[in-house]
Amino acid sequence: MTIILHSMAEVRAWRTAVASAGPIGFVPTMGALHAGHLSLIALARQRAATTIASIFVNPLQFGPAEDLDRYPRPIVQDIALLEAAGTDALFLPEVAELYREGASTFVVEEAVSTPLCGATRPGHFRGVTTIVLKLFNIVQPDFAAFGQKDAQQCAVIERMVRDLNLPVEIVRGAIVREADGLALSSRNRYLSTQQRRAAPAIQASLQAARAAFDAGERRASALAAIGRSVLQREPAITLDYWEVCHPGTLQSLDNVGSDGAMLAVAACLGSTRLIDNLLVPPGL
């Protein structure tokens, strides 16, 4: 039975009641749950005595022209999926519960959050770090699980945890994909049939660059050119970025060195923006 908690006070009381059972694992989400989210619940359940998820579509991380209003909110289905996955509790707050009128304190990470999505979505990571710190303060988990699909988000949160001495361990879960390679995303449901058919080219572009890496190519410009050329063959796809960056700092590289690299792509199909990434060498 998944207990549904709406207020901070309810979460705190619940936390006090379960604390003696052992470690608390936390999976923050924006809902519209799919197998990627559920893999993080499974990961948390392996390590935690008690697992709590949150569903909160965080207005602070959406830009003015982005999809906050139309973001899917299938809450009845989400609760059923969390139940079936064995989640102990769900924090399901309203916006007013988390953001008071006149809130004027925010968390800003200034290095890892600047390239890639930070460059094309100004303010996005400020919204992410602020809500994640707030959720950590409310839930006070021993660890929290985040998906490698949002690798930059993982890196930004890990840096925040390190820099602000937060007593939370961050665990990364592998990317869950459709059979044709498309990374699962709540936004995939926006895609038309034609766009859905084109979307696996995003992953294919990463695989093409990886094949070149495996064959010995180490120049970032050459790897990126290979990836971009795969996407350019798909008229339904508009490229946002296709970058070869350091897997830790996310700064762009000239050549892939001994630390390996993250190949990162963001692309739009109509107004739907999707991201994906791949680490080289594999298993990094």
The SS3 assignment for 218 reads coil
Angle between helix 8-18 and helix 124-139 axes, rounded to 10 deg:
50
What span, in angstroms and rounded, lies between the C-alpha atoms of 35 and 170?
20
Q: Could you give the angle at which helices 201-214 and 220-232 cross, rounded to 10 degrees?
A: 150
- 40 is a site residue for ligand AMP (CB under 6 A): yes
CB of 83 to ligand AMP, least distance (A): 18
Compute the least distance from the CB of residue 182 to ligand AMP, in Å.
9
Tell me if 88 sits within 8 A of 3, measured CB to CB: yes
- Contact between 149 and ligand AMP (CB under 6 A)? yes
Contact 54, 4 (CB under 8 A): no
Nearer to ligand AMP, 184 or 280 (CB): 184
Backbone torsion region of residue 41, taken as left when φ is above 0, otherwise alpha when ψ lies between -120 and 50, otherwise beta: alpha
Q: Is 37 a catalytic residue?
A: yes
Examine residue 184 and tell whether it contacts ligand AMP (CB under 6 A). yes
Does residue 45 touch ligand AMP according to CB under 6 A? Answer: no
272 binds ligand AMP (CB under 6 A): no
150 interacts with ligand AMP by CB under 6 A: yes
Task: Give the nearer residue to ligand AMP in terms of CB position, either 45 or 149.
Answer: 149
Stretch that binds ligand AMP, among 46-54, 176-184, 220-228, 253-261 (CB under 6 A): 176-184
| 274 binding ligand AMP? (CB under 6 A) | no
Distance (Å, whole) CA 3 – CA 19: 15
Q: x/- contact string, 96-135, with ligand AMP (CB under 6 A)?
A: ----------------------------------------
CB 248 within 8 A of CB 155: yes
By the rule CB under 6 A, 276 interacts with ligand AMP: no
157 binds ligand AMP (CB under 6 A): no
Stretch near ligand AMP under the rule CB under 6 A, chosen from 36-44, 188-196, 226-234, 260-268: 36-44
**Least separation, in Å, of the C-beta of 276 and ligand AMP?**
9
Which of 6, 34, 37, 246 is the catalytic position?
Answer: 37
Among 194, 186, 172, which residue's Cα sits nearest to residue 273? 186
Among 52, 161, 183, 264, binds ligand AMP (CB under 6 A): 183
Q: Cβ of residue 68: shortest distance to ligand AMP, in angstroms?
A: 13
Helices (H), the chain: 8-18, 35-47, 75-84, 95-98, 117-120, 124-139, 151-163, 193-198, 201-214, 220-232
DSSP of 104-168, one letter per residue? -------STTSSTHHHHSTTHHHHHHHHHHHHHHHH--SEEEEEGGGHHHHHHHHHHHHHTT-S-
| Shortest distance (Å) from residue 144 CB to ligand AMP | 9
Note the residues at the interface with ligand AMP (CB under 6 A): 29-30, 36-37, 39-40, 146-147, 149-150, 173, 175-176, 183-186
Active site residues: 37
